[in-house]
Amino acid sequence: MTQLRDLLASAVSFALPVTRTFRGLDVREGVLVQGPCGWGEFAPFDDYSDAAAARWLDAAIEAAFLDRPAALRESIVVNAIIPMCDPDDAALMTREALARGCTTIKVKVGSAELADDIARVAAIREALGSSGAIRIDANAVWSLEQAVTALRELAHFGLEYAEQPCVTADLRALRSRTSVPLAVDEGIRQTGDIENLGRQLAGSADVAILKPQTLGGVEATVRIAERLHDLAGMPVVISGSMDSSVGLSAVVAAAAAVPDLPFASGLGTGALLAADVVATPLSPVNGRIAVGRVAPEEAALARAHARVSPQRRDFWRQRLTDAWAARERLAT
């Protein structure tokens, strides 16, 4: 049985610089833990609660100490991701994604001015061409009326779907006022009641975004995908959380194990990292990422660990300890 002392004994904190600021971050930090089955990643964002971090710890423990569900596919089709940036940068990143074979682009929206979002999406569409798919993600920053207005304008560029354009409670009303398919993300990973949420989402949203690290790991993700399909008839998109290649390999494993995977998966966040814990990062080749476990490489992990300040090393050990305590409370 896994013990906290075992996790702390193997824990190695890491810091990876990013190529472009994302979620307000210039560096991505976390902890890797090792077990008999390999390595797991614990990297909840600083603003996540201890309860949310506990699910991330579940995912890390699963990756390090347990076997994964059987893979139903050998590789996964990947979408690229583009953060909030100016149109020229967005076009450049789109061309880079195309060079890696990615023809589906997820773009962050929700700028202070809608015109900035429109310019960004327009530049992506021009660089991508008419055959590629664009999906937008607003992280629920729009009100219902703002979402109606934004989707009316952005729909002209041909959207595969809009991810969490507003809070989940407003999705049903929004769906009746837009032709753009709607996807739910925050509404899933912030709930503790998938059964009730699944019934609420029937008729409110078209796609479910599942992030295995935030849901407790691969097995939990597969189980949630099956329940959402049964309760709401919703297909899923498996998405990463700006993980290192070690963490991303678990997300890829979830995408490989989900029975129905009709959309490209959100596994392209590695392009946002300027360094990794491996010499050759897990990234798409011909638009796909291969399924398989990834272990950190000694030199790359040593460099990543050296970037972590002593204060942040203490922070991450305490963060892991607090998540363990929350995990124990939730289990009782």
pLDDT in tens, 224-277: 999 999 888 999 999 999 999 999 999 999 999 999 999 999 998 888 899 999
Q: Do 309 and 239 share a structural domain?
A: no
112, with CB counted inside 10 A (0-12, 13-18, 19+), is exposed
Structure tokens of 161? 């779907």
Q: Which of 28, 120, 125, 211 is catalytic?
A: 211
Q: Do 139 and 284 share a structural domain?
A: yes
- What is the C-alpha separation between 260 and 210, in angstroms, rounded? 13
> φ, ψ for residue 217 (rounded to 5)?
120, -170
DSSP state of 263: S
Q: Which of 55, 106, 108, 288 is catalytic?
A: 108
Question: What pLDDT sits at residue 306?
Answer: 98
> φ, ψ for residue 80 (rounded to 5)?
-85, 160
Q: Do 56 and 80 share a structural domain?
A: no
327, with CB counted inside 10 A (0-12, 13-18, 19+), is buried
In 186-309, alpha helices (H): 186-189, 194-201, 212-215, 218-232, 245-257, 298-306
Question: What pLDDT sits at residue 112?
Answer: 96
Q: Do 198 and 155 share a structural domain?
A: yes
In this prediction, residue 23 has a pLDDT band, given cuts at 50, 70 and 90, of: confident
Q: Do 106 and 239 share a structural domain?
A: yes
What is the average pLDDT score of the chain? 94
Give residue 259's domain range: 75-290
Q: Do 13 and 114 share a structural domain?
A: no
Q: Are strands 236-238 and 207-210 parallel, antiparallel or unpaired?
A: parallel
- What is the C-alpha separation between 30 and 18, in angstroms, rounded? 14
Q: For residue 191, is pLDDT > 80? A: no
CATH code at position 20: 3.30.390.10
Q: Do 105 and 8 share a structural domain?
A: no
In this prediction, residue 132 has a pLDDT band, given cuts at 50, 70 and 90, of: very high
20-29, 33-42, 189-198: which range is least confident on average? 189-198
Q: Do 202 and 98 share a structural domain?
A: yes
Q: Do 286 and 305 share a structural domain?
A: no
User: Any catalytic annotation for residue 108?
Assistant: yes
Contact of 11 with 310, CB cutoff 8 Å:
no
User: Mean pLDDT throughout 291-300?
Assistant: 97
Q: Do 167 and 59 share a structural domain?
A: no
Per the structure, how many domains does the chain have?
Answer: 2
Q: Do 84 and 52 share a structural domain?
A: no
User: Mean pLDDT throughout 183-212?
Assistant: 86
In this prediction, residue 203 has a pLDDT band, given cuts at 50, 70 and 90, of: confident
Chain centroid offset of residue 80 CA: 12
In this prediction, residue 179 has a pLDDT band, given cuts at 50, 70 and 90, of: very high
pTM: predicted TM-score of the whole model, two decimal places: 0.94
Instruction: Write out pLDDT tens, residues 84-110.
Output: 999 999 999 999 999 999 999 999 999
Specify which residues 27 forms β-bridges with: 17
Question: What pLDDT sits at residue 2?
Answer: 85
In this prediction, residue 308 has a pLDDT band, given cuts at 50, 70 and 90, of: very high
Question: What pLDDT sits at residue 150?
Answer: 98
CATH code at position 178: 3.20.20.120
DSSP state of 224: H
